[in-house]
Amino acid sequence: MGKTISNKTQGILWVLSAAFFFAAMNMFVKLAGDVPFVQKSFFRNIVAAVIAFIMVIRTKEKTKLTKTNVFDLFMRSVFGTLGILCNFYAVDHINISDASLLNKLSPFYAVILSMFILKEKANKSDWIFLIIAFLGALFVIKPTFDFRSFPAFMGLLGGMMAGTAYTFLRKVGLSGVKGPIIVLFFSTCSCTLVLPYLLFNYSPMSKYQLTMLIMAGCSAALAQISITAAYTKVPAKEISVFDFSQILFAAILGALFLDQLPDRYSIIGYIIIIVTAVARWKYMLNHSEN
């Protein structure tokens, strides 16, 4: 009999799995080529919706939604959809490792947003970590205040939208709504929100492009399943820092399949933000133990 893997080790492995599949999702979105980014988001979410629906009908646990739950799920869906749209726009125009990094700033934004949505207070250290992370993001964005920086700013905005969505997601999770229900509600709602655009602006796709978007949807669903499994094993504060491995996976996939290499300024930004995330993680663990 081999040694039993601890819950924390399982949680870390699930987070690493989610990070890889999110990076793969961005790669497949990029490989889909010149399909409009709104259309890409629709196909990404329709696949995830189908997979989540199968999971919901197979589970024996029933979840009763309240008006508050539905409102919070809707807000999570709106901001999550905006986050995906911004992220996919960024992926189409900059390196997928840069886009992944800017999207991973969402936990820092969640610190501010939790003050308004969850009535949680941010302390001095939270603000210090947030400012340092934003300075790191500037190395990735390399602002020129013209259109060349616009895709990077969209990536930054996507991180803010994702941070808002995760704050509502935490609120929903605290009320006891199960993961498959959250994924199904989000994916279905997101498809509905972008459907009007598709009805009037649908762009014909080749079999290759459709295949890439189906692969993006499958990767997104596997990432969602992995991240849900991770946070049922271990509290988020203990393992969330490992989610930043997505940047490493994105850099490797970008180099292997997209001929993308980050420049020295982006690498400096990666180092600043990842070190800040690790410092914030250790700080939170130390203070939670006291």
Q: Which residue, chain included where needed, has tokens 């739950």?
A: 69
Query: Which residues have CB under 8 Å from 284's CB, separation 6+?
Result: 237
Q: How many domains does the chain have?
A: 1
Looking at the domain assignment, is residue 2 inside a domain? Answer: no
Closest CA to 218 of 27, 82, 14: 27
Q: What is the CB neighbour count within 10 angstroms for residue 220?
A: 26
255 Cα distance to chain centroid: 21
- The pLDDT tens digits for 121-170 are 667 777 787 788 778 877 877 766 556 678 888 988 988 888 788 778 77
Q: Is 288 exposed, middle or buried (0-12, 13-18, 19+ CB in 10 A)?
A: exposed
Q: Model confidence over 242-256: pLDDT tens digits? A: 778 888 889 899 999
Write out the residue range of the structural domain in which residue 29 sits.
7-289
Closest CA to 108 of 89, 131, 85, 87: 131
Instruction: Give the span between the Cα atoms of 238 and 289, in whole angstroms.
Output: 11
User: Residue 1 domain-assigned?
Assistant: no
40 pLDDT tier (thresholds 50, 70, 90)? very high
Which one-letter amino acid corresponds to residue 173? G
Amino acid letter, 186:
F
**Residue type at position 69:** N
CA distance 261 to 225: 29
- 224, 14 contact by CB (below 8 A): no
Give the model's confidence band at 171: pLDDT under 50 very low, under 70 low, under 90 confident, else very high.
confident
Cβ–Cβ under 8 Å, residues 171 and 92: no
